[in-house]
A and B are shown apart, each in its own frame.
Chain A
Amino acid sequence: MIVCIIKHDWTGPPAAAQHGIMPHDHHDHPHALLPPDPALRVKALETILTEKGLIDPAALDEIIDTYQNRIGPQNGARVVARAWSDPDFKAALLADADPVLAELGYYGRQGEHMVVVENTGLQHNMVVCTLCSCYPWPLLGIPPGWYKSDAYRARAVREPRKVLAEFGVTLPEETAVRVWDSTAEVRYLVLPMRPEGAEGLSEEDLAALVTRDSMIGTGLAKAPGEAPS
């Protein structure tokens, strides 16, 4: 078995914190670990706004819990699996996604509209937000670091095929690539093509083939039997 180090933009807690060592010189007077400057600034804003009655701290915890634990690409995968299995659902989803998604409980808390774009042999869709990082939160959760990077935001529009190749996606010559630029008002979800050999699978099994990247358009759905990623 090959063990690989997966590189992502999280380096884990500092080594000192992992070992319970205080990164501090005064060992005779240990105090609470001082959070980094931005963390203190966020705490300051929270305290000021709470004292003024402008925010409810419990609501903050609820929002964090929602995005950390309850909302993620599994939501979008369920929608895609259903669209692959149910032609009427798919037609309704492509025609006007908002009511269809609202019925499933996936509505935009920021009042945005959802548009679902379908991949075909002739057109591959890819989503970006050149403004900042607008993303279909209710369906995919919080975007990955690369989606928010300057590199992706600039290059997805300029050289989408090259970016796709870096994600390991090579499309046939006859497939055009269309890039959709998200805004505060409109967010996009890519409906990937159903992989070969997926006929007859249950919605649950189909959903397992739908990766986050396939719904952003920087990946394809997995083939049945392909190792989980």
Chain B
Amino acid sequence: MSECAEISAPEPVFAEPWHAQVFALTVHLNEAGRFSWGEWVERFSATLKRHGLGRELDGGEDYFRAWLETLEMFLAEQGAASPAEAEVMRSRWEEAYLSTPHGEPVRLQG
């Protein structure tokens, strides 16, 4: 075994803030009774399978992209957030970021 194996840096739990956000959102919706964890796993594993058909998923960014896609589809299916609603809100946030001076808190406009 090389000497390098003895030195290690802690891996961050979530590599990107949005990974943590989408994870927490899903856990919260489950705990609030919007769906069972079994229902979530069934859909998420189907998404992973679909994404993994064309290429090998590395378990990092692509994993959370599959997670987000699953949540969007699930919420649309449940009528909690339709794709159209989500797209409009996404554009509003983008607009808010682009119109907020650097360093100031970003808020949705009216």
Contact = CB atoms under 8 A, between A and B. Distances in A.
Give the secondary structure class of A's interface: loop
B15 A33 contact: no
Nearest to A30: B102
Give the secondary structure class of B's interface: helix
Contacts of A36: 16, 18
Chain A's interface size range is 35 or more
Given A47-B89, A63-B24, A112-B37, A145 B102 contact: no
Interface stretch (A6-14, A99-107, A200-208): A6-14
A4 interface: yes
Contacts of A34: 94, 97-98
B48 A4 contact: no
A165 B14 CA distance: 27
Output the residue of A2, A43, A49, A67 with the most chain B CB within 10 A: A43
B30 to A, nearest CB: 6
A188 to B, nearest CB: 15
Output the residue of A31, A42, A131 with the most chain B CB within 10 A: A42
| In the complex, the 5 A-B pairs of residues with the closest C-beta atoms, listed nearest first | A148-B59, A149-B59, A44-B89, A4-B4, A39-B18
Interface of A: 2-4, 6, 8-10, 22, 30-36, 38-49, 52, 54-56, 59-61, 63-64, 67-68, 72, 109-112, 131-134, 141-142, 144-152, 168, 183-185, 227, 229
Given A49-B75, A54-B32, A184-B38, 15 more contacts: A8-B9, A30-B101, A38-B22, A40-B90, A41-B86, A42-B22, A43-B93, A63-B23, A64-B23, A67-B14, A133-B63, A141-B13, A146-B59, A149-B56, A150-B58
22 contacts: A2-B7, A6-B7, A8-B11, A9-B58, A22-B102, A30-B101, A31-B101, A32-B98, A32-B103, A42-B22, A49-B75, A49-B81, A59-B31, A60-B21, A60-B24, A110-B30, A132-B41, A142-B23, A147-B59, A149-B58, A151-B58, A184-B42
